[in-house]
Chain A
Amino acid sequence: MTTVDYVLRLGDDALVTAQRFGAWYAAGPEMEEDVALANIALDQLGAARLLLTYAGELEGAGRDEDALAYQRDAAAFRNCRLVEQPEPDFGVVIAKLLLLSAFQLPLYDALAGAGDERLAAIAGKARKESAYHLDHSTLWTLRLGDGTGESHRRMQGAIDALWPYTGGLFVGDGGPVSLTELRAPWSSTVEGVLARATLAVPETVAEPTGERKHLVELLAEMQELHRAHPGARW
């Protein structure tokens, strides 16, 4: 039996990522990347909507995707801390997409063949999109990591900044695929890309804890309109 928290975790990962990447539209280093990040944000939003709708049905309290996205406080969000981290430059965006898609691809691959039919249908679509995201972030990681001295330095800095939050990807049970077991395929993918990109794999450290200031700020912006005008629609 799949739990509400498990589906929320996956849906909130996708929703928070969509909100972060959507902010890069018209702010990327070139027009093609504006388009790419907007498309990737849209893919994440598409998965988030399906997952939050399903979570609401499992919960059985009458909450739909909008209620779950716009009317929960930060404390009720189940996403891993990696996705809510700020993105001060494009290198951090690419590093985050690499670390996330190397997790989402084996996750969706496994869910597509696992026991929950609803998750299998969602994952069957999302896996193809994740494969494209992983390709895209791999190409950029190679280009920036094995590029100029400056691009190498900033790409390594981006990986180092996000690395402490990667442990949180693998925390979560209550669904047909144990997130803990995704660490091995994830490590193999990520370490392979980093090696080809001449980047060092950072030391694993304990994930920072404490107040989730970045998530609170992100939600304040995302939920502002809905909180000011409950039920507002286009």
Chain B
Amino acid sequence: MTAREAVATVVDPELRVVTIAELGILRDVETDDRGHVTVTITPTYTGCPAMDVIRADIGAALRAAGHADHDVRTVFAPAWSTDWISPDGRAKLEAAGIAPPGPSKPVTLAIAVRCTHCGSPDTEQLSRFGSTACKALWRCRACAEPFDAIKAY
């Protein structure tokens, strides 16, 4: 397995249905002439507590694939945006009951957050902050179920 393939299998520890590649926080995997692997990642939020676990999981995945000689770098620019979540990642989040984000740039019309249970756009925000730094808590007015939504960022 190439180093890139190995790292791409690492799942996000807080959003366990998506990989770090699908979430857009895996920026680069490079292997030099001597086989040293350099992995570059970027955090979603500056204080994201999952970063240490992600670094450890990347190391474990590389060692399991025979790439013991590696290091993990963290970069902050360009800043991560929810626009970097891949289409596959969005579909997986939605299937897991976490509404994917709308566009991060301001739009003229408010875009409804669709209920992940029944698909209704008739929803309301219950709490602007959620169980992790990247989520808010919403409720569906149609089916009355609560659900998490990734904040457009």
List residues of chain A with CB within 8 A of the CB of B137: 32
A50–B76 CB distance below 8 A = yes
Partner of B79, one of A36, A40, A125: A125
List residues of chain B with CB within 8 A of the CB of A39: 129, 133
A-B contact count (CB 8 A): 66
Q: Which of B45, B80, B130, B151 has the most CB of A within 10 A?
A: B45
Partner of A32, one of B43, B49, B79, B127: B127
A68-125 contacts to B (CB < 8 Å): 117, 120-122, 124-125
- Complex: how many Å from CA A132 to CA B131? 16
Partner of B48, one of A32, A40, A46, A117: A46
How near does chain A come to B65, taking the closest CB pair, in angstroms? 28
B87-142 contacts to A (CB < 8 Å): 126-131, 133, 137
A35–B129 CB distance below 8 A = yes
- Complex: how many Å from CA A46 to CA B80? 14
Partner of B126, one of A32, A40, A43: A32
The proximity string for A residues 13-57 relative to B, scoring 1 for CB distances below 8 Å and 0 otherwise, is 000000000000000000010011011101111110110000000
Chain B interface secondary structure, helix, strand, loop or mixed? loop
The proximity string for B residues 21-49 relative to A, scoring 1 for CB distances below 8 Å and 0 otherwise, is 00000000000000000000001011111
Question: A227: CB under 8 A from chain B?
Answer: no
- Complex: how many Å from CA A8 to CA B128? 30
List residues of chain B with CB within 8 A of the CB of A126: 46
Residue of A nearest to B42 (CB): A125
Give the A interface residue count (CB, 8 A).
Answer: 26
List residues of chain B with CB within 8 A of the CB of A5: none
B127–A125 CB distance below 8 A = no
List residues of chain A with CB within 8 A of the CB of B153: 128
List residues of chain B with CB within 8 A of the CB of A50: 46, 76
A122–B46 CB distance below 8 A = yes
- Complex: how many Å from CA A136 to CA B136? 13
Given contact pairs A45-B47, A136-B128, enumerate 9 new A-B contacts (beta carbons under 8 Å). A32-B127, A39-B129, A42-B47, A47-B47, A49-B46, A120-B77, A125-B45, A125-B79, A129-B45
Seen from chain A, the residues whose Cβ lies within 8 Å of a Cβ on chain B are 32, 35-36, 38-40, 42-47, 49-50, 117, 120-122, 124-126, 128-129, 132, 135-136
